[in-house]
Structure 1
Amino acid sequence: MRSVAIIGAGIAGLSCADVLAKDGWRVTLFDKGRKAGGRMSSRRVETPHGEASFDFGAQYFTVRHDGFAAEVARWADAGLAVRWPHAGSDAWIGVPAMNAVVREMAARHEVRFSHHVSGLAREGMSWRLLGEGMPTEQFDAAVLALPAEQAAPILTLHDFDLARTALFARSQPCWTGMFAFDSPLPHGEDILRNHGILAWASRDSAKPGRRGPESWVVQATPQWSTAHLERSPEEIAPLLLAALQEATGAHAHMPLAHSAHRWRYALSAGTGLGCLWNEQQRIGACGDWLLGPRVECAWISGRMLGERILGAAREAA
């Protein structure tokens, strides 16, 4: 049985894992986070008016690829995903939170959370993971399901051509604010787009399958996020709140709970390559940065890499 270490347990890494595990590979995923989610993460916060829930990464996902459509149909049948017409005719969300579908995918595999992989060591024909608390076990193949900026330093030591592709695939950052209120904001729409410094604002509590107090998620424009990238969440949250209050006319509404999160690598440009793979060293990369800035692209990229790895293994057999 061949083995593979996949660094990153987001949609791309888990999609790749699905393909390889189905063919009998021993798949182990490593993720620096404490739980499944990645850029489809959700956060719960206790307030005096009950628990507020925030989808503070991807706000929804689209379904256009036939293979992904089949996967989403399965999620829908399991009650893990529903349509969100307010965001678009092909918009879907996870239920009861966006991370529901990622958690379901992760449950099918061995995922070691709170494992920050800092590098890879080539030992003979195998790979060993580097980093505090990493296992000593070796793997036949290694997959980097990480943002381009995090994959590049690891690839540089092993395949400069792959690393160069990652180095030129730059992402844009995004500051995200999360706010819960004791009453609805005086705004008739559940979604705001392109208003001042806000690229997006949505009434998260109005999404299908959601409960809890009035909750909003706001996402700043890439330009504003870049200009304020190194400021602290404590500094950013009041600025995003003021922008939300101005956009909705809710100047008198003060939040029950508030926080801000910085996504350094939020919006990928997309290289159009699909995935990267070096068969001689058996190292590769997948992620939305290799196709486009959509959840669906991450899933497709992971699947493409999994199928490419299997095809190469069959040719070598």
Structure 2
Amino acid sequence: MRVAIVGAGIAGLACADRLHETGHNITLFDKARGAGGRMSTRRVTTPSGHMAYDHGATHFTARSLEFRSLVDLWHAQGLVAPWPVAGVHAWVGTPSMNAPIRAQANAHDVWWSSPVTALTRDGQDWWVHIEAVRHGPFEAAVVAIPAEQAAPLLSLHDFDMARAAMSVRSHPCWSAMYLFAKPIVTLPDFIRGVGPISYAVRNSAKPARAPGETWVVQSDWAWSEQHLTRDPARVCDLLLSALGEAGGTAMPEPLHADAHRWLFSQPSGREPELLWNDALRLGACGDWLSHGFVEYAWQSGSALGRAIAR
């Protein structure tokens, strides 16, 4: 079959991998400019040169046997490395968090900068609409994007799938990024769950990172909702103060600071890990069908790919 997958994050790519293994032809569409999704990395120009911040997931876990086998392969390819400071099962991409996602995407036909506005069905064929242009035909379609974005695409075709997506609420997260002139020796490399901070990570302490004292501070969802409409500069100030309080130290003025608001960071869903309508050849996958972690997103996409292949 020719299969269209809307969303080229880890769930969509895991689904594409499974389908490709069984001989199907896959095209992925994603609104982003490049690979990342939940494992995004932001590259910026600062007074000290080019810097990279893992402003999506700070790390990921690999506990299931199947996902651990894939992570071991990534490790052998130099795409990931263990990071024990974040936990016994913790891993990070190398030299940036999105490295394994980029490698996965390179094996497929991915249309970047292609926001899908509609999925339509003409007879037995699916068509993907990007602005005023439709692309296809495809014999099957998969929606692998956050629940809030998936619901409108699913609602015209399968109300049970749409209802599952509409029942999920994704909590936001502010992610602040800082560059300092010199190492802050009074802070540990990894802080979890202190005050409004969900995670604070010395990004430059991860394996294979470039020199420079870089930090990523992510707020918990309650604080993020309270400050949802704040100016990013103000968010940077507030989370910098929270980092100092968490470490009991006075924070220096950063050389560079920025903040990114993730609107669909932490989904609340507990549905089955995949949704598939065999009559329509329409499916949905993503971490919103289980829990908002990288490993669960991969499991959801992989399970859907197997179901379609069957």
Bucket of the pairwise TM-score, normalised by the shorter protein: over 0.9
Give the Cα separation in 1 of the matches to 2:210 and 2:87: 22
Residue in structure 2 matched with residue 24 of structure 1 by the alignment: 23
Once the two structures are superposed, what CA deviation does each residue of 1:56-81 show, in whole Å capped at 9, x if it has no partner?
Answer: 01111111111111110110000111
| 1:7 Cα deviation from its structure 2 partner | 0.4
Counterpart in the other structure of 1:222: 221
Amino acid at match of 1:258: A
**Stretch moving more, 161-170 or 44-53:** 44-53
Question: How many residue pairs get matched?
Answer: 310
Q: Is the 8 A contact 2:39 2:97 kept in 1?
A: yes
Counterpart of 2:308 in structure 1 is: 309
Q: Which residue of 2 aligns with 1:180?
A: 179
Counterpart in 2 of 1:99? 98
Q: Relative to 1, partners in 2 of residues 1:25 and 1:228: Cα closer, same or farther, differing over 3 Å?
A: same
- How big is the alpha-carbon RMSD for the aligned residues of Structure 1 and Structure 2? 1.4
The secondary structure found in structure 1 opposite 2:137 is coil
Deviation at 1:269, TM superposition (A): 2.4
The answer for the alignment partner of 2:129 in structure 1 is: 130
The 5 Å alignment of 1:71-150 reads 71-132=70-131, 134-150=133-149
Question: Quick one: which amino acid aligns to residue 74 of structure 1?
Answer: L
Following the alignment from structure 1 to structure 2, what is the Cα–Cα distance between the partners of residues 134 and 108? 25
Aligned twin of 2:195 = 196
- Look up the match of 2:6: 7
Whole-Å separation in 2 of the counterparts to 1:293 and 1:270: 9
- What CA deviation, in whole Å up to 9, does each residue of 1:135-181 have, x standing for no partner? 43211111000111111111111111111111112111101100000
1:186–1:250 contact (8 Å) kept in structure 2: no
* Identity of matched residues, %: 49
Matched, 1:242 2:241: yes
Instruction: Tell me the equivalent position of 1:315.
Output: none
C-alpha deviations, 1:257-310, integer Å up to 9, x for none? 111001111112242401001111111100011122211101110010011111
Q: Which residue of 2 aligns with 1:40?
A: 39
User: Is contact 1:50–1:213 with CA below 8 Å preserved after alignment?
Assistant: no
Determine helix, strand or coil for the equivalent of 2:283: strand
Match of 1:167 in 2: 166
Equivalent residues of 2:191, 2:199 under 8 A apart: yes
Write the distance in 2 (CA, Å) between the matches of 1:56 and 1:279: 37
Secondary structure of the 2:135 match is: coil
Structure 2 unaligned segments of length 5 or more: list them. Answer: none
1:111 aligned counterpart, secondary structure: strand
Shift of 1:5: 0.6
Is the 1:272–1:292 Cα contact (8 Å) retained in structure 2?
A: no
Residue type of the alignment partner of 1:16: C
1: distance between equivalents of 2:129 and 2:145?
Answer: 16
Aligned residue for 1:138, secondary structure, equals strand
Structure 1 pair 124/5, CA: closer, same or farther in 2 (3 Å)? same
What is the letter of the counterpart of residue 130 of structure 1?
H
Give the alignment of 1:284-299 within 5 angstroms: 284-299=283-298
Which AA in structure 2 matches 1:107? N
Deviation at 1:244, TM superposition (A): 2.0
